[in-house]
Structure 1
Amino acid sequence: MAHSPTDVTQLAVVDAARAARVLSEVRAATLSGRRAPLAPRPVIEQSWSRMLRSGVDPDHDVRSGLLTREEVQRRREDTALRHVLPVLREGLLSVADVAHHIMVVADDDGRVLWREGNSSVLRKADNLGFELGADWRESVVGTNGVGTPAVVRRPVQVFASEHFQRSQTSWTCTGAPITDPRDGRLIGVVDVSGPLETMHPATLAWVDSVAKLAEARLRELHLTSLERLRAVAAPLLARLPDRALVVDRDGWTAAVSGMPYTHRIALPKSLSPGRRWLPPLGLCSVEPLAGGWLLRASEEQVPAATRIALDLTQPRRWSVTVSGGAGSWSHELSPRHAELLYLLALHRSGRSAAGLAEDVFGDAGRTVTVRAEMSRVRRYLGAFLEHRPYRFREDAEVEVLLPDDPRDLLPHSTAPAVARGRISADVP
């Protein structure tokens, strides 16, 4: 009897072994180029396609070495994930232990930094190389519950032979990305894993909800830190006669004086004190503060930007770099902003809000969402963008750096226009 992908997922709840056999047949047929008894789920099929293109071996588990204990500890101290561990433990561990699962937390490089839960399952995970410091990027170990959510930027459940590598097909994994609520940047992935017979469809919603609680906790911590910086900034700005603002280390505004309020200033990664050109302030004086920077705007004019480079070559780290007479600066892009800037580069004559909504969502009516996102883009690129319609400034040279294989363009994206770009040879 033929099964649909949904049928197999439901079957796994009552007969995991039978569901695993069906998926094993699907995997064997698909990877050998034969007609499969049913198509894999789209998220799995797309992941397998990426693995085949990149040369990951489905039958031989080859991976990079473990991080040292010292490097694991250093990464733990450097990542914002450490602030949300209590939320993850409270939401996942008690149930995971009873259900014969483990909780795994990996950083944005796919490295396992924490691993807790059922002791017998932890021992089984050792045999899979699911250890502290292990590298579980999709491009290294194939389709899995840590690496694949990091690529597609949404929760993914990988059951049995949906794993690309044969060594993992006795396992079930459910992972959800954890992103920085301030800018959408990937921080890491939380995953709940166990033997294939522990699979349950509800695990996906459960893990996703706890990941969202973790993001809410990060948002709360950020607002608290801005309040502390604001208390320091207010008396300082009151004494200054010129236009100025105080921002935290990531550019989020705590207080302003003599100028309109701007939520965030795009800061270069290696900002240092001195005279710097920063969008949208232009030339300004940068002075360090405890927990942030004092930025004092200058009235001096500088040459306009001459080049805007949109880098989409990396699978999870997209950026825009602006170069001109005042030097250059870069800004890391969220998944949505990477999509929008790619589309504006594709349409140099401009795109209306309705046009962008059609491109991104397949629904020209979703203009409110597009306008809100473009408003955020203009916070760091406002000097180089026009609107009505949205477009790059005419005098700017725009270059787009694309992946070698068009099919690897923004793999997280479900936007119809991006999907067309993956099968088209046309590039901006």
Structure 2
Amino acid sequence: MPAGSDPRRHARVLAQVYCATLAGQAPPALPRRVIDASWRRVRGYGVDPDRGGGAVPLRYEEVEHRRRDSLIGEVLDTLRHGLAGVAHDASQIMVVTDGEGRVLWREGSSAVRRRADRLGFVEGASWREETVGTNAIGTALAVRRPIQVYSAEHYVRTHHAWTCAAAPVHDPRSGRLIGIADVSGPAATIHPNTLALVDAVARLAEAELRTLHHRDLERLRAVAAPVVARPGGPVLVVDPHGWVAAASGCEPVARLPVPDVVDAGGVWLPSLGTCVMEPLPGGWIVRPDPAGEQPATRVRLDLRSAASPTVTLSGPSGSWHHRLSPRHAEILLLLACRQEGRTATELAGDLFGDPTRTVTVRAEMSRLRRHLGGVLCHRPYRFHDRAEVEVAWPADPADLLPASDAPAVRRLRAVTGQPGTGV
């Protein structure tokens, strides 16, 4: 809204512009360029201006998994501290979405939340342009910058009584958009400074993520210190995004162009040529290797202790241990027993007896790959071909992950002799 404009008069003008534009007539004024471009996209998506797209919200369980797996959840307290109280006092709500525009959290005025419920503006709902037309969240996702949408700038008529201001939040490590911070409420609550506030809090959240990243690099540097100190040629230690935590015998650089998907073994990097990459918890050891040697990584899954299943990765640079959650122990066991791999649907059936629970499986695999990305592949999920996998079984098959109720694990316990078949 232009500075100094009367909100009611401006809303009437926007309504006239909206009606004329949708009717194919000459509007009394031109919509903002960003709004005009959004309306054109939305018409191409076929969104109904009277009802929206009608997408079904995610189930509560799926929303919870996304909350736990979403990076933006790590800065929720910062967003909440900066926006939730202000939103409540202004009779608005704070909304936080993931990078796909799915609403994960809502806080603020209870009366406004009830009004939002009637619009379907609820946890789990998709608020992308393709679903609900022009709006601050969906349009910020599309244009990758902060935006405020007021009254009839919304494409769906039932949203004309609303105003919303949204700003994208990016992962400073990868540059990937990880979610949207938004403040929404009745159109009468519009304030010219709301967008600046939302953008400032989003930038503060990114700064906090940057601090967390520096802490992760410090931990990675401490883990890899013995490797870096050991003589044996140039070596670098990088996180999954290629940021360098430590280096020895190499010209120092801030970041290596590591591929999005890295398999343990040889890889060609533009700055170093052929390199051998060995996984370690939270990152990689990178060794320039002109000969192109690709040593195998040994993976030992130790399930002898029901209380503390572990996985150990061993390579030329040493061994790395990672304690497993019960669910991750189940997944690695099933992948060890099926070298050809398992799809998300198959793992959902193995773990829950319900092949439709693929969202849960993908969330768990995403967490696992943060630690073991070098030896785990996807499509289907499996151990890498150059991983030599060994399972240390309990002496009594009944002691195999005894707390697990996964159908495939129950079948493994029933196998006579050494487990490993019959999944």
TM-score normalised by L of structure 2:
0.67
Instruction: Give, as a single letter, the amino acid of the residue that structure 2 aligns with 1:6.
Output: P
Corresponding residue for 1:10? 5
Structure 1: gaps (5+ residues): 303-428
Q: Does 1:296 align with 2:287?
A: yes
Corresponding residue for 2:30? 39
Alignment deviations for residues 293-317 of structure 1 (CA, whole Å, 9 cap, x no partner): 1111102379xxxxxxxxxxxxxxx
Q: Distance in 1 between matches of 2:190 and 2:2?
A: 14
* Contact 2:140/2:147 (8 A) holds in 1: yes
Corresponding residue for 1:122? 113
- Please give the secondary structure, in 1, of the residue aligned with 2:2: helix
* Contact 2:174/2:241 (8 A) holds in 1: no
Q: Does 1:99 align with 2:90?
A: yes
Runs of 4+ more than 6 Å apart: none
Matches within 5 A, 1:160-309: 160-300=151-291
Corresponding residue for 1:143? 134
Corresponding residue for 1:82? 73
Decide which moves more: 125-134 or 66-75: 66-75
- Please give the secondary structure, in 2, of the residue aligned with 1:123: helix
- Please give the secondary structure, in 1, of the residue aligned with 2:27: coil
Instruction: Give, as a single letter, the amino acid of the residue that structure 2 aligns with 1:212.
Output: R
C-alpha change, 1:252 and 1:284, in structure 2 (3 Å) is same
Corresponding residue for 2:44? 53
If you compute each CA radius of gyration, which structure gives the higher value, 1 or 2? 2
* Contact 1:63/1:135 (8 A) holds in 2: no
- Please give the secondary structure, in 2, of the residue aligned with 1:192: strand
Structure 2: gaps (5+ residues): 294-423
Q: Distance in 2 between matches of 1:113 and 1:101?
A: 17
Alignment deviations for residues 44-78 of structure 1 (CA, whole Å, 9 cap, x no partner): 11111211233222223223211111111111111
* Contact 1:102/1:193 (8 A) holds in 2: yes
Corresponding residue for 2:308? none
Q: Distance in 1 between matches of 2:33 and 2:60?
A: 37
Q: Distance in 2 between matches of 1:167 and 1:300?
A: 65
Instruction: Give, as a single letter, the amino acid of the residue that structure 1 aligns with 2:261.
Output: S
Q: Distance in 2 between matches of 1:53 and 1:130?
A: 23
* Contact 1:10/1:201 (8 A) holds in 2: no
Matches within 5 A, 1:272-421: 272-300=263-291
Q: Distance in 2 between matches of 1:132 and 1:282?
A: 47
> How many positions carry a matched residue from both structures?
293
Instruction: Give, as a single letter, the amino acid of the residue that structure 2 aligns with 1:35.
Output: A
Instruction: Give, as a single letter, the amino acid of the residue that structure 1 aligns with 2:2.
Output: T
Instruction: Give, as a single letter, the amino acid of the residue that structure 1 aligns with 2:136.
Output: G
Matches within 5 A, 1:105-116: 105-116=96-107
Q: Over the residues paired in the alignment, what is the CA RMSD in angstroms?
A: 1.7
* Contact 2:53/2:130 (8 A) holds in 1: no
Q: Distance in 1 between matches of 2:270 and 2:24?
A: 51
Corresponding residue for 1:339? none
Instruction: Give, as a single letter, the amino acid of the residue that structure 2 aligns with 1:199.
Output: I
Q: CA shift at 1:232, angstroms?
A: 2.1
Q: Distance in 1 between matches of 2:160 and 2:87?
A: 20
Q: CA shift at 1:270, angstroms?
A: 3.3
- Please give the secondary structure, in 1, of the residue aligned with 2:174: coil
* Contact 2:264/2:278 (8 A) holds in 1: yes
Q: Distance in 2 between matches of 1:32 and 1:189?
A: 32
Q: CA shift at 1:278, angstroms?
A: 3.2
- Please give the secondary structure, in 2, of the residue aligned with 1:10: coil
Percent identical:
53
* Contact 1:246/1:292 (8 A) holds in 2: yes
TM-score normalised by L of structure 1:
0.66
Decide which moves more: 70-79 or 226-235: 226-235
Instruction: Give, as a single letter, the amino acid of the residue that structure 2 aligns with 1:231.
Output: A
- Please give the secondary structure, in 1, of the residue aligned with 2:13: helix
Q: Distance in 1 between matches of 2:234 and 2:52?
A: 58
Q: Distance in 2 between matches of 1:10 and 1:256?
A: 57
Q: Distance in 2 between matches of 1:184 and 1:274?
A: 26
C-alpha change, 1:127 and 1:200, in structure 2 (3 Å) is same
Alignment deviations for residues 133-187 of structure 1 (CA, whole Å, 9 cap, x no partner): 0001112211101110111111110011000111211111110000112332111
Q: CA shift at 1:101, angstroms?
A: 0.5
